[in-house]
Amino acid sequence: MKNITLSVEKVLGFIPQEKINSCADAVAKAQAALEDGTGKGNDFLGWLHLPSSITDADLKDLEDTAKGLRESCEAVVVAGIGGSYLGAKAVIEALQSSFQWLKEKKGPVILFAGNNISEDYLAELLDLLKGKKFGIINISKSGTTTETALTFRLLKTLLEQQVGKDEARKRIVAITDSSKGALRKLSTQEGYKTFVIPDNVGGRFSVLTPVGLLPIAVAGFDIRALVAGAVEMENKCANSVKFEENPAAVYAATRNLLYKDGKKIEILVNYHPKLHFLAEWWKQLYGESEGKDKKGLFPASVDFTTDLHSMGQWIQDGERIIYETVISVETPVKKLEFPSDAENLDGLNFLAGKRIDEVNKMAELGTQIAHVDGGVPNIHISVPELTEAYIGQLIYFFEKACGISGYLLGVNPFDQPGVEAYKKNMFALLEKPGYEAETAAMKARLGKK
Ligand code: PA5
């Protein structure tokens, strides 16, 4: 198997190589703290050696369950939010056809819900599912997340109305805590097939648990290859690997130096629309892990060349507080050559016979040169192809680098206390039982009776 590779060459005009190399000791300490469990958030390190600990029996159970859903459903709704959906969505979008909806179906359509509270979205989803053979994968570690729980109740009600309680329970799979929470209780009572989210794996690090693996398998992708790719990167990013040869170590060190040098925003760039949700997953991973204690790079993303026609202006010419990390795919899955035209009215015959990807690559190179010249350092990640194995490598690479980077920054990369504030206010406003004091305070603040 080839590997994804990292290059910081286009950062060296801003941060010299020696300075990056001088981070080796600090990075080694961060890596040791992850390995020994002596750093902050050390009860959430289950992701660190997760790929190599996944057993054949684990994969078989997931594959068998996926097969059952694939055979019995036209659509499978994955209900979950944040870490309980972004990983699966990212991998499925990266691997499936951009026009999956219109393609001849070889398995169920995978739909995502439980990640918003839009009445229109939910009503339209229920309309779509009426009369359809559908299943539900309900994912919530806590089992109490409002968006997901509310959506699940709506979906479960419709499914039971359509096929009856007995058949419905065969088409519902719950992925949750091993013993705690409302979803565990409900699953036990209703007799749903369940998978466990390990206690020591936080949501945003859970894509290689059943949280990501089951939906990916239901979508028809090879979870064994995905996990094998992640294992490969677990080895490539191991603490025993020399700093300069360890991509997670070099990436973490470089972004930390760029941050200290005044860069406040890291923009993850792709040149393939299929990678849009990989960037969404990455934004959660780094945003939730590092944005705390009034510190942390703001993770942003753009889809090029599309966004070169919108955000390109800001990136080229706006305040110099940004750098880019470009995910470059070496070889596209498909092959398409640009045709010659006898009349050449559009003046594009100079491209005749070229692969479309060659045009894309020249756009990529031209953009890199322009942005670096314009004062935007570029980190480059090369992905041989968009296959399960390389996506698996990318996932583990980003996770390991995130753990190291969080420790270099001096934060706990594994908690997310900041996401509770809106929930408390929302429950107070909705007058949730148990929130009487907060409701009274909120009413007083808003001048309501
Ligand atoms: O990373 C996280 O911990 C969060 O994004 C959670 O995954 C998200 O809030 C969903 O939580 P839960 O799985 O408990 O419903």
CA of 359 to the centre of ligand 1 (A): 40
- Do residues 398 and 433 share a domain? no
For residue 81 and ligand 1, the question of a CB distance below 6 A is answered with yes
354 is catalytic: no
Which pLDDT does position 259 carry in this prediction? 98
Sign of the C-alpha dihedral computed for residues 179, 180, 181 and 182 taken in this order: positive
Q: Is residue 312 part of a domain?
A: yes
Q: What separation in Å is there between the alpha carbon of 214 and the centre of ligand 1?
A: 17
Residue 78 and residue 118 share a domain: yes
* Domain assignment of residue 231, yes or no: no
**Whether residue 388 sits in one domain with residue 269:** yes
Q: Which atom of ligand 1 is nearest to the CA of 288?
A: 1
Number of domains in the chain: 3
Whether 257 and 382 share a structural domain: yes
Nearest to 208 by CA among 329, 381, 81, 58: 58
Atom of ligand 1 nearest to the CA of 211: 13
Indicate the SS3 state at residue 190. Answer: helix
**pLDDT by position in tens, the chain (length 449):** 799 999 999 999 999 999 999 999 999 999 999 999 999 999 999 999 999 999 999 999 999 999 999 999 999 999 999 999 999 999 999 999 888 776 666 799 999 999 999 999 999 999 999 999 999 999 999 888 999 999 999 999 999 999 999 999 999 999 999 999 999 999 999 999 999 999 999 999 999 999 999 999 999 999 999 999 999 999 999 999 999 999 999 999 999 999 999 999 999 999 999 999 999 999 999 999 999 999 999 999 999 999 999 999 999 999 999 999 999 999 999 999 999 999 999 999 999 999 999 999 999 999 999 999 999 999 999 999 999 999 999 999 999 999 999 999 999 999 999 988 899 999 999 999 999 999 999 999 999 87
Whether 234 maps to a domain, the answer reads no
Query: Ligand 1: which of 47, 84, 183 to mutate, most ligand atoms within 8 Å of CB?
Result: 84
Q: Which of 78, 145, 186 to mutate to test the pocket of ligand 1 (most atoms within 8 A of CB)?
A: 145
pLDDT (0 to 100) of residue 104: 66
Domain contains 311: yes
The CB of 287 under 6 Å from ligand 1? The reply is no
Residues 213, 257: one domain? no
Same domain for 215 and 362?
A: no
Give yes or no for residue 288 CB within 6 A of ligand 1: yes
309 is catalytic: yes
Residue 303 CB less than 6 A away from ligand 1: no
Task: Please identify, by atom number, the ligand 1 atom nearest to the C-alpha of residue 82.
Answer: 5
Q: Does a structural domain hold residue 229? A: no
CATH of the domain at 313: 3.40.50.10490
End of a domain among 169, 190, 221? 221
Q: Per the domain annotation, does 337 fall within a domain?
A: yes
Compute the Cα dihedral for 404, 405, 410, 413 and give only its sign. Answer: negative
Q: Both 276 and 342 in a single domain?
A: yes
Euclidean distance between CA atoms 316 and 302, whole angstroms = 13
Question: ∠29-40-290 over CA atoms, to 5°?
Answer: 90
The predicted structure's pLDDT at residue 20: 98
Q: Are residue 184 and residue 157 in the same domain, yes or no?
A: yes
How many angstroms does the Cα of residue 31 sit away from the middle of ligand 1?
25
Most ligand 1 atoms within 8 A of CB, residue of 44, 47, 81, 196 to mutate: 81
pTM for the full predicted model:
0.97
13 falls within a domain: yes
The residue contributing the CA closest to ligand 1 atom 2 is 203
280 and 309 share one domain? yes
- In Å, what is the CA distance from 147 to each residue of 141, 154, 211, 294, 339? 13, 11, 17, 27, 48
Same domain, 259 and 184: no
Distance 202 CA to ligand 1 centre (A): 8
Q: Which two tokens stand for residue 92?
A: 């499925």
Report d(CA 311, CA 298) in Å as an integer: 16
Is 235 inside any structural domain?
no
The verdict on 65 and 128 lying in the same domain is yes
Kindly give, in sequence order, each residue whose CB lies less than 8 Å from that of residue 156, ignoring residues fewer than 6 positions away. Answer: 136, 168, 172
Task: Give me the domain span that covers residue 335.
Answer: 5-36+242-409
- For ligand 1, is residue 171 a contact (CB within 6 Å)? no
Are 185 and 81 in contact by the 8 Å Cβ rule? The answer is: no
Asked if 55 and 175 sit in the same domain, the reply is yes
